[in-house]
Homo-oligomer: A and B are copies of this chain.
């Protein structure tokens, strides 16, 4: 069902401090920057193999990522698995008892179509599906 790990989000308090650390210590020199006003975040992402690693700084404390940061602190936030068809994957997973946190997908960076599974079902791993 999944074609790969599409992206992994890390919550950080200060995007530019984090970018500088990844740049200096790990030698990452190619970041792409983004903003998602509807989600209340700004982002910097870099590619590792076939996967994007996305540094995410909440800009709205009342957003989902903002509340997660306040509650749990910085760290890995979610794992987004690539699918060829979000519609098919959602239908299949629902028929297998899977629960989603919303009825319909939302738009991520670069028009990625995203939908989040209920993390309680996966032992506190926030799994998301992504169709590019």
Contact = CB atoms under 8 A, between A and B. Distances in A.
Contact of A48 (B5, B25, B26, B48): B5
Given A48-B4, A79-B76, A98-B26, A18 B93 contact: no
Contact of A96 (B10, B27, B73): B27
A3 to B, nearest CB: 6
Q: How many copies does the complex hold?
A: 2
Interface of A: 1-5, 8, 10, 12-13, 18, 21-22, 24-27, 48-51, 53, 73-76, 79, 81-82, 92-93, 96-98, 121-125
Given A2-B48, A4-B51, 10 more contacts: A1-B26, A4-B50, A5-B8, A5-B48, A5-B51, A5-B53, A21-B123, A24-B97, A25-B96, A74-B125
